[in-house]
Structure 1
Amino acid sequence: MKKNYLILLMAILLSVGSFPLLAQEEEEEEDWSMYDELELVDESNVKRFAKPTIVGLSPTRFLSVSYDQQLGYDMNLSTARFPASGSSGWGVDETAPISETGRVNFTGGMRFNSNIPIISKSNLVWQSGLNYMRVGYNIGSIEAEQGASGLTQILDERGLNNLNWTNTFFVPISEENFFIFQGALDLSGDYGWDLQPFNTVRWSLAAVYAKRVSERKRWGLGLARTYRVGNLNYVPVVMYDVTSADRKWGTEILFPARAHGRYNFSKNALLLFGYELEGQSYRINEFSVGNNSYEIRRGELRPRIELQKQLSGPFWMHFQAGYRIDWTFNADELEGSREFFRGFFGTQEYGMINNLSNTVYFNIGLSFVTL
C-alpha cells in the first residue's frame, strides 16, 4: 500500500514539475507568421555618396609647421601718394618714380597650418583650421630720396603677418557627384600681438562642383573670390586630380591657385612638381590715415618641386625648393577700408608702384597627416 502511495506521489511531482518546462517551450516557439508582411532589405536602394579623395594623392595635413626663406633680392619702391584714388595716383601701366631702394638679404619666417575634422560623415565632411604665416625682412643698403615713404624701414623692423581661419565643406550629392565649399577670413598686415585693427579683415570664398569618375580620377569646375595674388579677384576654378593605373604618376590641380604633377616612389615617399600662387592684401598701419587702410597687394608665383617622405607613423616631412617670381607688390589706399574690384584689367590708380627682383626660395616642414 505504501508502495502504491509512493508511486502516486512521484507521478504527481513529475507532472507538476513538467509545467514550467512546457511553458518555456511554448514561449520560445517562434511565430513566423508575424514576418509575412516584411520584405528583405534591398542593398541597391541604399543611398551611397562619393568619397572625398582618390587613391595616390599626397597625404592630407592635419597639422603642419614649416620654415620658409627667400634668398637675397632687390626691392624698388615708389613714393606713396595720398589719397591713391585722387588725381595724383599712378595708373596701372604708368611708371612711377623710384624713391626708395634696398637690398633684401633674406625674407622668411615660420608658418603654421591646421586642418582639423569637425564633422566626418558619409554625407558631410567639415574641416576647420587656423593658420599663421610670418614674412620677415632683413634689408640692408637702404637708399632713400627726400620724401620717400620709409616702407623699407617698416618692413625691416616689423615685417608682414597673416592670420587665417579657413573652413572647408565636402558635400556629396550622389555616388559620383559632390560640391566643395571653402570660406576664409584673413587678418594681414604689419601688426604685432595686438592684432589691430579688425576692420580690415578680408574674406575669400570658393565653390566647386565636381565628379569622382573612379577611385583614380576626379574633376571639378567652380568660382572663387580670392586675394591669392594680392588684389581682390574673381576667377574660375578647375580641379583635376588623377592617378595612373600603376599608381606611380598623377596630378593634383586646383587651377589657378596651384597645379602639380606627382610621382609616387612608394606609399611612404612622393615628389610634387609644379607651381603655386601665394599672396594676400597687407595693411600698413603707419600709412593708414584715419579710417582709410593702406594695403600692400603682395602676390607671388612659385614654380617648385617638393619631396614628401614619411618619418614614422602619421609624421611626415617635406622639403620644397623653387623660384619666387614677383607678381605684385603694389599698394592701394582703401577709403573707409572698403575693398574694390580691379581684377586683371582694371585701370584704377595705385597709391604706390613697387617691384621686387626674383629669387630662389626654400621651405622645410614637419606634418601630422592622414592617408
Structure 2
Amino acid sequence: MKLTTLLLGAAAILCTIVQAQAQSPETEIMEEYASPSVVGMGKGKGIVIGYERLPSFDIKSDSKHPRLEDGQGRVRRHNKFDVKINAPVLNRPQTKVIFGIDYKFEEFNFEDVTPAAYDLYQYLEDRNLQSVGAQAVYLHSIDSRRFYLVRLRGELNGDFTKDDINSDLIDYFKPTIDLMYGWKKSPNYVIGVGLQLGYTFGRESIYPAIIYNHTYNNNWGVEAIFPANARLRYNVNEKTLLFAGYRLEGASYNLYVDEGSLSEFGEIELSRTDVKGLLRLEREIYDFLWFGVEGGFRQYYRNRVFDEAGSRNEILDNDLFGAGFVKVELFVVPPRRLMEKSK
C-alpha cells in the first residue's frame, strides 16, 4: 500500500475542504489555522482510480531452507490496480477528520521458468494479491502556526477470499499508525517531524519522518515526507502540474499454500520493498475531473518469503531485476465553483 502518498493526499484534502467552505461574516474574521498544505499544492483527491503496469523483467529465487529449490524465470507482466475514496466526517475550524477506504491488487505472469512449474511462481501466476483498507486521518490545528496529525489505518493483505475473511480475519490484518507534529512558517512553508509504524519497508517497523512542504515562487515547490518520498513540483498553470522525485513502496501479503513444497508451511508471508524514480503529470480534464500519468524506473530493494506471518525465518530471497513502469490515474477533485465561493 502507498503509505506516504495517502498521507499527502489526505493532507491536501483537508486543506481543500477548508478552502471550499462558504464563508459567513463570522468565518471571515476567524483566525486561519495551520495545516500541512502550502500554496500551489494540487487539489485534494476525493476519488482515485489507478492502473500500473511493468514490462517483463528477470527474477531469481535463492532458497534459505534445505527442502526448497532455487528457481529463476522471467516476469512477463506485472499489473496493479487500485481504487481510493476519501471523504470528510468532521469539518471544524480547528479539527478535521477524513475517513477513507481503498481496494487494490497486483498480479504476476511468468515465463521461461527453471525448474519448470517452480512452486512459488506457479502459485503466484494470475493470482490476485489483494489489499482492502480503511483509514481515519485526524488533524488538529493548535493555532495559526502549529498542528498535529494522527493517521490510523488497517488493511487486509493477502490472497484471501470472502470465506477466509469471515473465518480468519485477524490473520490478514496489517495496522499502520502515523504521528506528525508540524509548524506552518508561512502559507508557502511547512515543516514537521513524526513517527510512522507501518510496512513501507516490507516488514512492520517504526521509522522517523520529516515533513517538508515548500513553495518557492509561482512555479516551483517541494513536497516531501522523508525518507519515504520526495518530489519537486512545477506549476505550469492552475490546470497542469508536473512532478519529479522518488517514492518508497512496501507491502506484506499472507499466502495460504496447499500444494507443492511450500504447502508444508501452510501460511507464508511475502514481503517486498520497492524504490521508484518517477516523473508525473497531472492535468484537468473538466472542472472536477483530472487525470494523472507517471512513469519511471522501479528498483526492487527487497523481496522475501517467510515461513509464517510475522516470522523472521526467511525461506526464499527473491531478486527481481529493475524495470520501467507506467501508471495512469483518473481522479475527482472539488468543483471550481466551490473554490470560487470560498474566496
TM-score range, shorter chain: 0.7 to 0.9
One-letter amino acid of the counterpart of residue 255, structure 1: F
Partner Cα separation in structure 2 for residue 64 and residue 121 of structure 1 = 25
Query: What TM-score, normalized to structure 1?
Result: 0.75
Q: Are 1:137 and 2:108 an aligned pair?
A: yes
Q: Answer yes or no: is the 8 Å Cα contact 1:263–1:270 preserved in 2.
A: yes
Q: Kindly provide the CA deviation profile for residues 92-124 of structure 1, in whole angstroms up to 9, marking residues without a partner as x.
A: xxxxx8622121111013211122111111111
Q: Are 1:55 and 2:39 an aligned pair?
A: yes
Assess, with a 3 A threshold, how the Cα gap between structure 1 residues 290 and 203 changes in structure 2: closer, same or farther: farther
Q: Answer yes or no: is the 8 Å Cα contact 1:229–1:327 preserved in 2.
A: no
For 1:19-30, list aligned pairs within 5 A.
none
The residue aligned with 1:285 is 256
Q: State which drifts further: 134-143 or 282-291.
A: 282-291
For 1:210-289, list aligned pairs within 5 A.
210-245=182-217, 247-286=218-257
Q: Kindly provide the CA deviation profile for residues 269-298 of structure 1, in whole angstroms up to 9, marking residues without a partner as x.
A: 010110111121111111687997411111
Q: Answer yes or no: is the 8 Å Cα contact 1:55–1:216 preserved in 2.
A: yes
The residue aligned with 1:329 is 303
Partner Cα separation in structure 2 for residue 80 and residue 60 of structure 1 = 45
Count residues in correspondence: 302
Shift, 1:267, TM fit: 0.7
Q: Answer yes or no: is the 8 Å Cα contact 2:36–2:213 preserved in 1.
A: no
Shift, 1:160, TM fit: 1.4
Query: What TM-score, normalized to structure 2?
Result: 0.81
Shift, 1:56, TM fit: 0.3
Q: Kindly provide the CA deviation profile for residues 55-82 of structure 1, in whole angstroms up to 9, marking residues without a partner as x.
A: 101222110001110111011123474x
Q: Answer yes or no: is the 8 Å Cα contact 2:101–2:134 preserved in 1.
A: yes
Q: Answer yes or no: is the 8 Å Cα contact 2:146–2:183 preserved in 1.
A: yes
One-letter amino acid of the counterpart of residue 314, structure 2: Y
In structure 1, list runs of 5 or more residues that go unmatched.
1-42, 82-87, 90-96, 341-347
The residue aligned with 1:358 is 322
The residue aligned with 2:130 is 161
Partner Cα separation in structure 2 for residue 291 and residue 106 of structure 1 = 27
One-letter amino acid of the counterpart of residue 135, structure 1: E
Q: Kindly provide the CA deviation profile for residues 239-296 of structure 1, in whole angstroms up to 9, marking residues without a partner as x.
A: 0001123x20001101122110000000110101101111211111116879974111
Partner Cα separation in structure 2 for residue 265 and residue 242 of structure 1 = 17
* Higher CA-based Rg: 1
Partner Cα separation in structure 2 for residue 291 and residue 204 of structure 1 = 27
Q: Where is the strand percentage greater, Structure 1 or Structure 2? A: 2
For 1:1-371, list aligned pairs within 5 A.
49-79=33-63, 81=65, 99-144=70-115, 150-194=119-163, 196=165, 197-200=168-171, 201-245=173-217, 247-286=218-257, 293-334=267-308, 337=309, 339=310, 348-370=312-334
Partner Cα separation in structure 2 for residue 110 and residue 265 of structure 1 = 28
CA-atom RMSD, angstroms?
A: 2.5
One-letter amino acid of the counterpart of residue 297, structure 1: S
